[in-house]
Structure 1
Amino acid sequence: MNQSAYYNPNFYTPVLPAGWVEYKAPTGQPYWYNTLTRQSTWTFPVQAVSPQSQQQEQPKEKKKKQIKKKIPGTHWLFVLTHDGYEFYYDRETKTSVWEMPKELEEPMKELERLEKEEKEQKEEESKKRKLEQEQKEEEETKKIKMEQEEKEEEEVNEEKKEEGKAEPTEMTEEDIMWQLEQMEEEPEEQTEEQPEEQPKEIKQEKVNEISEEERIRQFYELLKERNISPFAVYSTEYPKLMSDPRFELVPNNKQKTLFNKYCHELGEKLKNEQRNKKKPEEEFRELLESKVTEKMYFDDFRRKCKDDPRFKVIPSTREREALFKDYVKHHLSKKKKDPVGGYMMLLRETKEIRPGIRWRDAKKILEKDERYHAIESKLEREDLFRDYLETLQ
């Protein structure tokens, strides 16, 4: 056994803590007496931990902040001190009272009701945020799959784009103008290039019964049905058209002239449409403005709007997401940078807000504006309203 663990005066004389005195019993065994507590012990007293060291070991409790609340419809403040005491402060007379004045009974009930509503609202928002977070996490797990779908969709779009390169809608305004210039410079082909004999499915006398205007209209209708391009060549398209009775309605010597005229007019029309057509970014921006909310994620936006033509004008998923984030960051966030300033501006702009108007009446007018909802606290909305009314008096 380790004897040094016990007190033995033959080995050393330890220092007694303050207030302790050593005595010896008749048997010679030492004991110790505390002059402050008047207690004795056979065990050698240990130095007590000072309150100062205890404070160093234990973290200091933070002092609670004093809370001030405006009592609705009055010029009183309800104050809760950091020690838990409550009192009432009159802002007009600059006086405080411990007991609640009788006139404040109803306003205090209203304050409690508003605080309860605000608490419930915050709990609801907290639940909503939690749900949104869960949805976001769920969406993250699907993101790889969705990106794969987007990639496949882009590949299909690229294939379609390659197939439709000859279609006029895929060409720029410069391409159309160049092609039209080339067509104007192209020399007239000799009529002997046409087959000498053409099928006569409609008798000449029957053709003569149709007006020239109607024959040309049907001829153009045929070209439209066959999707004749503005850059089509008459000799190439002729074999595809000759078997249709409407083609024979026009005399042989006018067929090519009307064909070229149709192509030229169609090219001019497409050129004008191209000039007046909105840029893809502008169309996509219109979609963002009409559908996106501040708490919406890109995946939600994509799922909701993927079938909208304005969504498809931007083929790249990365570019869509970049435009989406830029819109949310630089446009929606501006509305929330200074909610109080926006709310006060709303009060100043609303002509119905004048001295004597009741809060419940003003609220019905103001709640139609988004700047009203930018102030989340119902109590703060009313306080700012009343502060503004004071400036009008």
Structure 2
Amino acid sequence: MTKTLPVVLATLLAFSGVTAPAAAQQQNQPLDRIAAIVDENVILQSELQRAVNNIKGQYAGREAQLPPDSVLERQVLERLVLVKLQVARADGSGIRVSDEELNQAVASIAQQNGSDVDSLRQRLAQDGIGFSDFRNSVREEIITQRLRQSFAQSRISVSEGEVDAALAQQNAGGAQYHLAHILVAVPEGANAEQIATGQSKVDGIKNLLDKGELDFAAAAVRYSDSPNALESGDLGWRSLDEIPSAFSNQIKNMKSGDVLGPIRGPSGFQLLKLVEVRDGSASGDARKVTEFHARHILIRVTDQVSDAAAKAKIETLRAQIAGGADFQAVAKESSDDTNSRGQGGDLGWFPADAFGPDFGKQVEGVSDGGVTPAFRTDAGWHIVQRVATRQTDVTDDNKRAQVREQIGRRKLDDEYNRFLQELRGEAYVSFRSGDRAEGTAEPAKP
């Protein structure tokens, strides 16, 4: 499972079977008609209605920002389609979630909402939600997260030069820009009629904005074809080098609240709003971490060596060391860690969390020169000798890591959205109305 599942009950399943109680009251009798066929999968009308109701619940008090029900349903249905496509792609890539991982995730969600699993089950039942449906939605959430992570690992890289350039801009006091956008999608290889339709739609949206008949956030929710439409098209904070060149030169001369565009891009026509600007100077706050120099001995658990046998062996080695044997000599002779065995088990300098929380906790629990009790990790049974401790200034390393993460996240957002468009374009998707197939709808016009 991922380190943390960033979900809470109110938002995890915005596009699934979990809704607020009010939504459940509106939908006492789930509908079994098919809302869409997605390759070999289907989306039921009841799934769609629950997801729509949940969105309405999130916009309570701001209902005027939402589009008409027919448009909202189509937006939500498109998101459900993307979820199905991602889960299917992940399944074909061998991405799986075990029952144990799913149980841990459900327990984590319950804990984040101040309850336990039994209480969560009861709450769902009161709202008319099946616990198995809830678990399936959690499973799909984890799967799509893992697909995104796998995509990032295989396709996203950030060079040291990019980090250097971003840091140089920060150090020079370069500004950061909070942006939002509206996308009017145009199919890849679009013909003249499709391009003209897109141009007409984006011009209509811009006209509404210019007249003040609709604010940008509401227009994004109503009309944008971007996956973040229901988040008001928010793109977050970006430095100038993280903004496509088609926009960056003009953004420098814009004021907060200005709207740029329409501009034709690879995905269609875009309107870009500068929400606000802030000083992007890098923080000068110093940051120090404790690092440890340590050696270890590992005895692995394998098909040939049981857990009990590995534990008995590591405890025997620890007794030898306690009796005066040299730790490094014992490590060279007996450790199963081929990377460190030749160096007498030496791991060099590392922060406490470098090898996982259990390892770090044991190292922190002894003094310099001391040897830990035998302890178990996923790798096997260990003993660790702590050699020395130091305080290291990691301010620059920390800045570089933050900048690298920001650039990587921006690249991932852009690349993954293109990936989703490709996935959607290659799929067979048929929207249904009752028993009649509608086909793929055109984007709503303002």
TM over 0.5: no
Larger helix proportion, structure 1 or 2? 1
Higher relative contact order (CA 8 A, sep 6+): 2
Larger strand proportion, structure 1 or 2? 2
Q: TM-score range by the shorter chain?
A: under 0.3
